């Protein structure tokens, strides 16, 4: 076993060197230092179905050190999930082996990684999803481990420690993290940038910590078994390794982190490892030994399917929950609450009422707030559903604490795991803390729901630090992210329906602190379904309009009030989502905004730049291109000109 394991590790290292060299781009050093651990994990411990990379009860492996991608691709090739041609096309256009792993491209890749620290944080989401679903479905239906491989750079990113703190609090015993401590990063030795004692830190975060020689196979096996046996704590295995282990002359060199090895170094290293000079060499005996346990893995997957089928046939509550776990999001049936026209309701309060209404109807809806439960209107959800892990693993509220970035990445991990509908909430101004994870939601096609309340200067007395100005426009720059800024409670319900039924795009819901009038669907019938197309005619005039007013969110009511100040024919367009509107056919967009009608004005309590796309370069935009101030919201509204009279004045001066 040991000799064959040594040979398999050598073959994996050969593939790493050859793939990076052929691409003339990549990161061989860290992949080689992690190869012992990863090869043993994949060949001896990892549960998966060789015939179905997406089998639901598989162990999850997340390569947080995404730059070590050739290590993962080499093992996925041995798994039979990708071909040798895929290995040879590393980092080439259209290949299944991009520079960093991408979940929607490559079978067996569980998460798109590259931005360091986020893979580690996503693994906490995977493990949390597993623990929650195991508690509700039963261990016979779901029970697996989550493994994550991290590097020095991963643990230098603060997001990793924020997520680790939650994993420790939540006692995620089936989370096993491996830290490849080769003490080298791109710029040189880690001692130039870090003095952290990770054993002390992680023990302080309530983890089991095991230190091993990361090249000693017996120590690696013992550590993995110890991690599996510890059910009350997550486990961190610190593998003390040598960068580019096995290289002929460049072991320990930081130059191997991000540069291909030279041809002579590769040749000498292959000789040292006992490999032939042949490129991309995988001998039959290594492949046969690696695949020897595949029949057993297939039998385990088949037995699992038999158990689930039997449980579905005889256990009605299980079958009902399983239907929710497996139903595609677009097929969700959701009954939203109604609202009384004329009442003043902040859209954050409308979200809270909607959340209360669907909590029982959507049993796989899980999420929480970054320590802002009363402000984000998630307090009732927390009270009704309990705090995850603290009140039991079946509890559905995730008390993230003041950890916006870890919250967002953990939600990505939960969505990637599958079976749940995750949401997270905080103030809009703190979306900046979440931003790179939001980008990763979009990049990975994850329909995560981000709920951002307190969406403008109307926050008032808390002042400019808490008043978002540029945030909505900034988030709209992220491709494939759905922006949803509802005008009232009715639009809020529709926007939530849009978000929760998304099959692949994440959504950001931008909600007000201040009350807004609930518009009457009898007077404005398009308000119920109009938001589904991004923008729609809320108030029509007779014939061709002389003027079109466009607004989102809290400024829609302002636009309606402004329209009443004109004797001209005025059309009012509500645009809760620029993304959804931009995706409509040209015929629809022209029907809402006829090209012949050039007298246009827009209003939104944020940056003005985006709106010239819709009103034209000579159009009128009422917005805010400076920071706010500490004062009551109404005082700021008057100061900044967000009144019907001022908006009308701006329009008259132009048109």
CA R_g for the chain: 27
Residue 65 has which token pair? 């050190």
Phi, psi of 197 (to 5 degrees): -90, 95
- Is 172 annotated to bind a ligand? Reply is no
Q: Residue 276, SS3?
A: coil
CATH fold, domain 528-654, is: Rossmann fold (3.40.50)
DSSP assigned state of 280: T
Residues with catalytic annotation? Answer: 404
Q: pLDDT digits over 26-72, tens only?
A: 999 999 999 999 999 999 999 999 999 999 999 999 999 999 999 99
Quick check: 352 pLDDT over 90? Answer: yes
When pLDDT is cut at 50, 70 and 90, the band that residue 589 belongs to is: very high
Residue 200 has pLDDT above 70, yes or no: yes
The pLDDT tens digits for 408-464 are 999 999 999 999 999 999 999 999 999 999 999 999 999 999 999 999 999 999 999
Ligand-binding annotation for 27, yes or no, is yes
Residue 480 among known ligand-binding residues: no
Distance CA 172, CA 393 (A): 10
Q: Is 419 assigned a ligand-binding role in the annotation?
A: no
Q: What mean pLDDT do residues 266-292 have?
A: 97
The answer on whether 454 is annotated among ligand-binding residues is yes
Q: How far is CA 327 from CA 199, 319, 390, in A?
A: 42, 12, 28
Question: b vs e for 195-212, b when ≥16 Cβ sit within 10 Å of the residue's Cβ?
Answer: eeebeebbeebbbbbbbb
State how beta strands 188-189 and 60-63 pair.
unpaired
Q: What is the pLDDT of residues 297-308, one digit of tens each?
A: 999 999 999 999
Distance separating alpha carbons of residues 515 and 633, to the nearest angstrom: 11
Report the pLDDT value the prediction gives residue 169, as an integer from 0 to 100. 98
What tens digit of pLDDT does each residue of 207-237 get? 999 999 999 999 999 999 999 999 999 999 9
Give the residues across from 392 on adjacent strands.
389
Average pLDDT over residues 122-138: 98
> Is 417 marked as binding a ligand?
no
Which residues lie closer than 8 Å to 519 by C-beta, 6 or more apart? 341, 487, 488, 490, 527, 538, 557
Write out pLDDT tens, residues 149-173: 999 999 999 999 999 999 999 999 9
Rounded Cα gap, residues 294 and 205, in angstroms:
37
The residue among 653, 481, 645 whose CA lies nearest residue 578 is 481
Contact (CB, 8 A) for 238 and 247: no
As a whole number of angstroms, the distance between CA 360 and CA 384 comes to: 10
- According to the model, what pLDDT value does residue 646 have? 98
CA distance 28 to 48: 26
Instruction: Give the residue-averaged pLDDT of 249-270.
Output: 96
d(Cα 603, Cα 637) in Å, to the nearest integer? 13
Q: Is 217 annotated as a binding residue?
A: no
Q: How far apart (Å, rounded) are the C-alpha atoms in residues 348 and 609?
A: 26
Is residue 214 within 8 A of residue 155, CB to CB? The reply is: no
What the block records as the tokens of 283 is: 């001998």
How many Cβ atoms are within 10 Å of 140's Cβ, its own excluded? Answer: 15
User: Residue 257 annotated as binding?
Assistant: yes
Average pLDDT of the residues in 391-414: 98
**Whether residue 592 has pLDDT greater than 90:** yes
Residue 293 marked as a ligand binder: no
Report the pLDDT value the prediction gives residue 358, as an integer from 0 to 100: 97
Distance of CA 494 to the CA centre of its chain: 23
pLDDT at 2 over 90: no
Beta bridge partners of 483: 508
Mean pLDDT of the chain: 97
348 is in an annotated binding site: yes
Residue 638 banded pLDDT, cuts 50, 70, 90: very high
Please tell me whether 466 is known to bind a ligand.
Answer: yes
Scored b (16 or more CB within 10 A) or e, 245-272 reads bbbbebbbbbebbbbbbeeebbebbbee
Topology adopted by domain 329-517: Rossmann fold (3.40.50)
Buried b / exposed e over 37-61, threshold 16 CB at 10 Å, is bbbbbbbebbbbbbeebebbbbbbb
Q: Is 600 annotated as a binding residue?
A: no
CA dihedral 58, 60, 66, 68 (to 10 degrees): -70
Place of tokens 């926050």: 459
Instruction: CATH 3.40.50.920 in the chain: give the residue spans.
Output: 528-654
Q: Which residues have C-beta within 8 Å of that of residue 350, sequence separation ≥ 6?
A: 339, 486, 488, 489, 492, 493, 511
Q: Is the pLDDT of residue 556 over 50?
A: yes
Quick one: CA torsion of 138, 397, 416, 43, rounded to 10 degrees?
A: -50
Task: Check residue 171 and give its pLDDT.
Answer: 98
Split at pLDDT 50, 70, 90, the class of 628 is: very high
Residue 386: Cβ-neighbour burial (10 angstroms; 0-12, 13-18, 19+)? middle
The answer to whether 455 touches 485, Cβ cutoff 8 Å, is: yes
Task: State yes or no: 96 annotated in a binding site.
Answer: no
Provide the token pair at 574: 């509500």
pLDDT at 1 over 90: no
Instruction: Name the segment(s) of the chain with CATH classification 3.40.50.970.
Output: 2-295, 329-517
Q: Class of 2-295 per CATH?
A: alpha beta
What pLDDT, on the 0 to 100 scale, is given for residue 178?
98
């Amino acid at each position: 076993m040991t000799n064959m394991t040594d040979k398999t590790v050598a073959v994996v290292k050969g593939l790493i060197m050859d793939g990076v060299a052929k691409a003339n781009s990549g990161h061989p050093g860290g992949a080689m230092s992690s190869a012992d651990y990863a090869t043993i994990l994949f060949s001896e411990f990892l549960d998966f179905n060789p015939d179905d990379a997406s089998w639901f009860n598989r162990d999850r492996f997340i390569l947080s050190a995404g730059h070590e991608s050739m290590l993962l691709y080499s093992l996925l090739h041995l798994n039979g999930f990708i071909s040798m041609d895929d290995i040879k096309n590393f980092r080439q256009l259209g290949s299944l082996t991009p520079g960093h792993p991408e979940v929607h491209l490559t079978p067996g890749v569980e998460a798109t990684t590259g931005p360091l620290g986020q893979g580690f944080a996503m693994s906490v989401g995977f493990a949390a999803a597993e623990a929650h679903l195991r508690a509700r479905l039963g261990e016979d239906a779901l029970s697996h481990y989550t493994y994550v491989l991290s590097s020095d750079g991963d643990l230098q990113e603060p997001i990793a420690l924020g997520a680790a703190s939650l994993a420790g609090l939540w006692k995620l015993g089936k989370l096993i993290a491996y830290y490849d401590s080769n003490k080298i990063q791109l710029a040189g030795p880690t001692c130039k940038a870090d003095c952290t004692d990770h054993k002390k830190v992680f023990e302080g975060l309530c983890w089991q910590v095991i230190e091993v020689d990361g090249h000693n196979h017996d120590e690696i096996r013992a550590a993995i078994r110890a991690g599996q046996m510890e059910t009350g704590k997550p486990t961190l295995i610190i593998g003390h390794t040598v960068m580019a282990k096995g290289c002929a002359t460049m072991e320990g060199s930081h130059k191997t982190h991000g540069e291909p090895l030279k041809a002579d170094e590769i040749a000498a290293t292959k000789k040292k490892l006992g490999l032939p000079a042949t490129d991309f060499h995988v001998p039959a005996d290594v492949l046969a030994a690696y695949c020897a346990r595949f029949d057993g893995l297939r039998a385990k997957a088949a037995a699992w399917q038999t158990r689930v089928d039997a449980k579905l046939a005889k256990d009605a509550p299980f079958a009902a929950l399983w239907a929710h776990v497996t139903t595609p999001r677009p097929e969700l049936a959701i009954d939203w609450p109604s609202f009384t026209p004329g009442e003043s309701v902040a859209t954050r309060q409308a979200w809270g009422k909607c959340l209360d209404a669907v909590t029982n109807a959507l049993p796989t809806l899980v999420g929480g707030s970054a320590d802002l439960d009363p402000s984000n209107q998630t307090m009732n959800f927390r009270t009704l559903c309990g705090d995850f892990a603290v009140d039991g693993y079946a509890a559905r509220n995730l008390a993230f604490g003041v950890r916006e970035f870890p919250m967002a990445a953990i939600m990505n991990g939960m969505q990637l795991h599958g079976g749940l509908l995750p949401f997270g909430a905080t103030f809009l101004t703190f979306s900046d803390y979440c931003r790179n994870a939001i980008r990763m939601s979009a990049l990975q096609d994850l329909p995560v729901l981000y709920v951002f309340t307190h969406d403008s200067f109307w926050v008032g007395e808390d002042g400019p630090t808490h008043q978002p100005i540029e945030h909505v426009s900034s988030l709209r720059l992220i491709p494939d992210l759905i922006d949803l800024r509802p005008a009232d409670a009715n639009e809020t319900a529709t926007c939530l329906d849009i978000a929760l039924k998304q099959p692949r795009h994440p959504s950001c819901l931008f909600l007000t602190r201040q009350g807004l009038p609930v518009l009457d669907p009898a007077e404005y019938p398009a308000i119920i379904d109009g938001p589904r197309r991004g923008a729609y005619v809320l108030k029509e005039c007779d014939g061709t309009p002389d003027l079109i007013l466009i607004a989102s969110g809290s400024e829609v009511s302002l636009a309606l009030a402004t329209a009443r100040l004109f004797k001209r024919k005025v059309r009012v367009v509500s645009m809760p989502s620029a993304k959804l509107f931009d995706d409509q056919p040209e015929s629809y967009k022209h029907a809402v905004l006829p090209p012949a009608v050039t007298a246009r004005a827009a209003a939104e309590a944020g940056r003005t730049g985006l709106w010239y796309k819709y009103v034209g370069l000579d159009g009128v935009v009422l917005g805010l291109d400076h920071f706010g101030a500490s004062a009551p919201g109404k005082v700021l509204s008057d100061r900044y000109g967000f009144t019907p009279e001022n908006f009308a004045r701006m329009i008259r001066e132009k048109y």
